[in-house]
Amino acid sequence: MNRRAFLGLGLQLAAGIIVNQAVSCWADTGMRRLSFYHTHTKKHLDITYGYGGRYDRAALDRLNRYLSDFRTGEVHPIDPGVLDILCQIQQKMGCHGTYEVISAYRSPATNQYLRKRSNGVAKHSLHMEGRAIDIRLTGQNTHHVRNCAISLQRGGVGYYAKHDFVHIDTGRVRTW
């Protein structure tokens, strides 16, 4: 290894240590904050939904409305575990980007409509229980987001490379 490569490696390692410390400090605050952009409604939402081991009920209510079925307007409770997975992905990746929401809660009518148009929609989708979300993370490759989500071992992770999004859910651990 030449001197230039050795110095470059040292800088990369030092930068990694600094990033890991920043992520660790952010995680230690206990504040759970997310930023969203809904690709269908074009609405943004920046929200702190929890502190320490507690959830903010008013914030969860706002999230339930924001992540509602955009086709029907139906609102359903979103599993806070889904939100926690999104926070953990950002912590592990060392980023605080905006999640682009492709789909969150789906009413049974919407799910049936989508099943007729695509063979990739599950009949008993966890979207209908508020336990799934399809996302991208700004500034991050969806392949890397998928790998990070899989490493958490917190639920299902689907990767849709053709449409450039990742499915995250709080069901049993599985991948596709």
The secondary element (H helix, E strand) that includes residue 4 is helix 3-28
* Distance, CA of 173 to chain centre: 16
All domains of the chain in start order, with CATH: 30-175 (3.30.1380.10)
Average pLDDT taken over every residue of the chain: 87
The answer to whether residue 27 scores a pLDDT higher than 60 is: no
Q: Which residues pair with 135 in a beta bridge?
A: 101, 166
> Which of the four pLDDT bands, split at 50, 70 and 90, describes residue 15?
very low
DSSP helix/strand/coil, 145: helix
Q: What is the pLDDT of residue 20?
A: 36
* CA–CA dist 114, 108 (Å, integer): 10
Mean pLDDT throughout 47-66? 97
* CA–CA dist 131, 168 (Å, integer): 8
The 10s digit of each residue's pLDDT in 94-125 is 999 999 999 999 999 999 999 888 877 888 99
With the C-alpha atoms ordered 103, 105, 111, 115, is the resulting torsion angle positive or negative? positive
Q: What is the pLDDT of residue 118?
A: 84
Specify the pTM. Answer: 0.82
The answer to whether residue 26 scores a pLDDT higher than 50 is: no
Q: What is the pLDDT of residue 120?
A: 79
